[in-house]
A and B are shown apart, each in its own frame.
Chain A
Amino acid sequence: MFDFIENLLYYTVKLSTPLLFCTIGGVFVQRAGTMNFALEAAINTSCFFSVLFTVITGNTFWGIVGAFLSCIIINAIFGTFVVRFKANAVLIGLAINMLMTAVPPYLLQAFFDSRGLLMATDFIDVNKAINIPFLDKIPILGPMLNNQTPLTYLVYLVIIILTIVYYKTKFGVYVQVTGENQQSAEAVGINTDKIKWIALMISACCCALSGLNLTFEQTGSYSLNMSAARGLICLAAINCGSRRPVKSCLYALIFGFVRALQLMLSSFVSPNITLILEIIPYLTIIIVFIITETSVARKTTMRFFREE
């Protein structure tokens, strides 16, 4: 039982990493007033191109470059349509998601003869766990935090830095003002489009890291739609966390915990039953929404919805 809890916590931390990256970056875009459904596409893209570039060049460095470049391009497309041309963000986000579920299998089928899988385990060593000896001596916390991969440690640093940026710097304040009252920002000469673009680029880099964590530190390969709704889950986390960095990340941890729970439970049941466990993360999101929105709905006295 104790092992179970230890493992559960370990996997919570491990599986939360991609969610945390995506969430902390997404907070900025969301807070600047843009609903970005393309988070999903960005993670998927990062996964695909990191593996693709690695396989083509035989060098993981170019895989990393590919991940960042592709994510920046995806967010640039989103920004071009939504920020520059003021197109409907939901429409564009969904379209980009669909585009990025079609491009990888298309290229894979054409160049690698397999529509759904691209292995790169020859080039990528996924065993990147860092052992920190003194951590082992601490009960619970030690096994939970020790032997994690570099990006897992990095994500907490990123969260701290971006939280400071969010609350303490000009840019952070501008992001908040842009989302709250765009006109007040424009009235003092703040270029809100620029703010949104920077937010999108931060988000792009975070999504790239999120995808890199999945491919370089977990699977070593790309499989079709391997982002598995993580982008949407992060979006839910950001929404539940009222677009605040720390609170959103806590929700991301909850969703990471649920995924770890699903993984742990899978080892106890027959393979067929694990299929039903797969819906747990999605179900959790709906339940979390019910809980958070119920408290809001109970307080609201208006009989109509006001569009945000």
Chain B
Amino acid sequence: MSAIMRVEKLTKKFGDFTANDSIDFEVKKGEIRAIIGENGAGKTTLMNMLYGLLQPTSGQIYFDEKPVKMHSPADAIANGIGMVHQHFKLSPSLTVYENILLGIEIKKEIKLGKKAVKLPIIDNSTERKKVDELIKKYNFNLDPDTKIRDLSVGARQRVEILKMLYRDVKMLILDEPTAVLIPQEIDELIETIHGLKRMGQTVIIITHKLEEVKRCADTISVMRRGRMIGTVQNDDEATSEKLAEMMVGRPVLLSVIKSGKPVNSEKVLYEVSHLSGKNSEGRMVVNDVSFKIHENEILGVAGIEGNGQTELMYLLTGLMKPAGGSVKINGQEVLQMYPDQLRKNGLGIVPEDRYLQGLCLSMPVSSNLIAGYHGQEKFCHHGIMDKKSIRKNMDKLVDEYDIRLSKDDPEVSQLSGGNGQKVIIAREFSSDPSVLLMSQPTRGVDVGATAFIYKNILRMRDENKAILLISSELSEVKSLADRIIVFHNGEIVGEFIADEVSFYELGLYMSGAKSMRDPA
């Protein structure tokens, strides 16, 4: 088979920083290629160059043996390269077919005598028909008339793929395609990818998840710190351990070691009962949720994103008005409280959106490390901030939590994702809370920092805390938690002992196929 795309000495620099360092690689026609690497290894930069979103500092891309220069995604598509981003680029208020034809709308024609005249008005019915044909051709499960906002994440991804296929691309790049999918949807996606291969498509998958790569790729390329480390055939020799070692550059331990300290089921530290909350459209997004967390226990929350976990976190952290229910820390009612009162009552909060709620990007690390606790006697006397103790606090936490700073007290925006998360973890863990609420604690965090965070979460558990862990990484929930509850449509649909349930079983509950609320 001939190479559909070849890249020679591709380099991309941002100022003094080299994101991609002289990359050489080749993709054969009709193969499924995986590009793996840690967060920040330069995968996204590479793909953005292949898709015309970034221009290389030096080097050359050949597509179909022709040198190509791409200045925009439109150029890339014209050359036959399509990309599906991790964050979908769809307009929620438009329908499936409108999104697919966005940018290449079909205009209405009328016959004037013999001549066909194009009106400047969009021909909706033809558009719908064409999209319908395409859906049938690839056998996708989609209705062209649905609005994007009413679609599941998996379906949205299929719309993105169709959008590219409609534009006749010869090579499809999928950026972290499984990040937001449940196990069953991942199966479907892999099916789809194999289907595309059978129809002659070349597919590149960018991911850091080894498991799925093993299941669908023909060849695997590994990137580390902006360099292409190597390409291997996906065969029995390419074990997960070996690939992980190539990614990180040293042997890694992929499993989590628990201390085995038992849950103190005598003592309930956190109790949520019949909690409900409506969103601004009036929809019940958290519906009659009840659970307890004991001392020395981690309760994991599994679920597809957008099923009420975000709102649950808002309700529990005082950012959203509840519609009813009760929340107790150590027996004390804290339902209507604001975040500052909650923290005073012994709650530690690691929010879902690190850069919107957890950290203030343009404030220095020292200020971020006291946020939420800035009113406490330790940092503030009679309304006046104690600069010395704030400074001391930073020095202590930076050391204890291994936060790596490029210079003295930089703005948080200059930290990496992992170090940023460590700032939050340090802040919340060091205040000695009795209950910890955590959402997506390792999203966008590199392997090293992830291991560090896991270790600290388990340490907190053993130090007699109750921990709520919300995560879309199912493996994270399963390996850390003692107990797991599954969220679907704002309700708890299942509860399991973490060690006694399979991924597949969890997937069934996450997708809503099974529910403990069903009359069995």
Do chains A and B make direct contact within the complex (CB under 8 angstroms)? Answer: yes
Interface positions of A (Cβ within 8 A of B): 164, 168-170, 173, 176-177, 180-181, 183-190, 296, 299-304
> A185 — which chain B residues lie within 8 A by C-beta?
91, 102-103
What 0/1 pattern do residues 54 to 77 of B give for CB contact below 8 A with A?
Answer: 000000000000000000111001
Give Cα distance in the complex from A300 to B338, angstroms. 16
The answer to whether B105 and A301 have CB atoms under 8 Å apart is no
7 CB-based A-B contacts, threshold 8 Å? A164-B121, A177-B94, A183-B89, A190-B102, A301-B320, A302-B280, A303-B318
B519 within 8 A of A: no
B98 within 8 A of A: yes
> B107 — which chain A residues lie within 8 A by C-beta?
170
> A176 — which chain B residues lie within 8 A by C-beta?
91, 93-94
Q: Which of B85, B88, B280 contacts A301 (CB 8 A)?
A: B280
Majority secondary structure of chain B interface residues (helix, strand, loop or mixed): loop
Give Cα distance in the complex from A187 to B159, angstroms. 14
Residue of B at shortest CB range from A169? B120
Q: Which of A173, A181, A304 contacts B92 (CB 8 A)?
A: A181
What 0/1 pattern do residues 269 to 306 of B give for CB contact below 8 A with A?
Answer: 00000000111111000000000000000000000000
Q: Which of B90, B93, B103, B281 contacts A189 (CB 8 A)?
A: B103
> B94 — which chain A residues lie within 8 A by C-beta?
173, 176-177
Give Cα distance in the complex from A40 to B34, angstroms. 55
Give Cα distance in the complex from A185 to B91, angstroms. 8
Residue of A at shortest CB range from B323? A301
B163 within 8 A of A: yes
Which 5 pairs, one residue from A and one from B, show the smallest C-beta to C-beta distance?
A: A189-B74, A188-B103, A187-B89, A184-B89, A300-B280
Give Cα distance in the complex from A169 to B77, angstroms. 23
The answer to whether B122 and A181 have CB atoms under 8 Å apart is no
Residue of A at shortest CB range from B282? A299
B321 within 8 A of A: yes
What 0/1 pattern do residues 119 to 152 of B give for CB contact below 8 A with A?
Answer: 0111000000000000000000000000000000
> B74 — which chain A residues lie within 8 A by C-beta?
188-189
The answer to whether A301 and B278 have CB atoms under 8 Å apart is yes
Query: Chain A's nearest CB lies how many Å from the CB of B380?
Result: 23
B314 within 8 A of A: yes
Sample of 4 more A-B contacts, CB < 8 Å, known A184-B91, A189-B103, A301-B278: A173-B105, A176-B91, A177-B102, A184-B102
Residue of A at shortest CB range from B105? A170
B256 within 8 A of A: no
The size of the chain B interface, using a CB distance under 8 A, is 37
Query: Chain B's nearest CB lies how many Å from the CB of A88?
Result: 15
Give chain B interface residues in 79-117, CB to chain A under 8 Å.
85, 87-94, 98-99, 102-105, 107
Query: Chain A's nearest CB lies how many Å from the CB of B143?
Result: 20
Give Cα distance in the complex from A169 to B120, angstroms. 6
> B92 — which chain A residues lie within 8 A by C-beta?
180-181
Give Cα distance in the complex from A75 to B93, angstroms. 29
Give Cα distance in the complex from A179 to B131, angstroms. 25
Q: Which of A164, A181, A189 contacts B77 (CB 8 A)?
A: A189
Give Cα distance in the complex from A147 to B241, angstroms. 85
Give Cα distance in the complex from A303 to B43, angstroms. 38
Q: Which of A177, A188, A299 contacts B280 (CB 8 A)?
A: A299
Majority secondary structure of chain A interface residues (helix, strand, loop or mixed): helix
The answer to whether B314 and A302 have CB atoms under 8 Å apart is yes
> A189 — which chain B residues lie within 8 A by C-beta?
72-74, 77, 103
Query: Chain B's nearest CB lies how many Å from the CB of A240?
Result: 18
Chain B CB within 10 Å — which of A183, A184, A190, A299 has the most?
Answer: A184
The answer to whether B73 and A186 have CB atoms under 8 Å apart is yes
> B121 — which chain A residues lie within 8 A by C-beta?
164, 168-169
Give Cα distance in the complex from A173 to B98, angstroms. 9
> A303 — which chain B residues lie within 8 A by C-beta?
318-321, 338
Give Cα distance in the complex from A164 to B104, angstroms. 19
> A188 — which chain B residues lie within 8 A by C-beta?
73-74, 77, 89, 102-104, 163
Query: Chain A's nearest CB lies how many Å from the CB of B358?
Result: 14
What 0/1 pattern do residues 301 to 331 of B give for CB contact below 8 A with A?
Answer: 0000000000000100011110100000000
Give Cα distance in the complex from A240 to B277, angstroms. 27
> A304 — which chain B residues lie within 8 A by C-beta?
319
> B321 — which chain A residues lie within 8 A by C-beta?
301-303
> A190 — which chain B residues lie within 8 A by C-beta?
102-103
Give Cα distance in the complex from A169 to B105, angstroms. 9
The answer to whether B319 and A181 have CB atoms under 8 Å apart is no
The answer to whether B90 and A170 have CB atoms under 8 Å apart is no
Residue of A at shortest CB range from B85? A187
Residue of B at shortest CB range from A184? B89
Query: Chain B's nearest CB lies how many Å from the CB of A7?
Result: 40
Query: Chain A's nearest CB lies how many Å from the CB of B488?
Result: 21
Give Cα distance in the complex from A182 to B281, angstroms. 23
Give Cα distance in the complex from A63 to B92, angstroms. 45
Residue of B at shortest CB range from A164? B121
> A186 — which chain B residues lie within 8 A by C-beta?
73, 89
Query: Chain B's nearest CB lies how many Å from the CB of A160?
Result: 14
Give Cα distance in the complex from A135 to B85, angstroms. 59
Residue of A at shortest CB range from B357? A304
**Known contacts being A299-B281, A301-B278, is A169 close to B93, with CB within 8 Å?**
no
Q: Which of B85, B122, B279, B282 contacts A173 (CB 8 A)?
A: B122
What 0/1 pattern do residues 174 to 210 of B give for CB contact below 8 A with A?
Answer: 0000000000000000000000000000000000000
Residue of B at shortest CB range from A303? B319
Give Cα distance in the complex from A185 to B104, angstroms. 11
Residue of A at shortest CB range from B280? A300
Give Cα distance in the complex from A183 to B104, angstroms. 16
> A168 — which chain B residues lie within 8 A by C-beta?
121-122
> A180 — which chain B residues lie within 8 A by C-beta?
91-93
Give Cα distance in the complex from A288 to B215, angstroms. 59
Residue of A at shortest CB range from B75? A189
Residue of A at shortest CB range from B339? A303
Chain A CB within 10 Å — which of B91, B98, B323 has the most?
Answer: B91
Give Cα distance in the complex from A164 to B108, angstroms. 14
Chain B CB within 10 Å — which of A169, A188, A296, A300 has the most?
Answer: A188
Give Cα distance in the complex from A183 to B103, angstroms. 13
Query: Chain A's nearest CB lies how many Å from the CB of B95?
Result: 11
Residue of B at shortest CB range from A181? B91
> A181 — which chain B residues lie within 8 A by C-beta?
89-92
Residue of A at shortest CB range from B279? A301
Q: Which of A177, A183, A187, A302 contacts B320 (CB 8 A)?
A: A302
Residue of A at shortest CB range from B277? A301
> B120 — which chain A residues lie within 8 A by C-beta?
169-170
Chain A CB within 10 Å — which of B102, B105, B281, B314 has the most?
Answer: B102
Residue of A at shortest CB range from B314? A302
> A173 — which chain B residues lie within 8 A by C-beta?
94, 98, 102, 105, 122
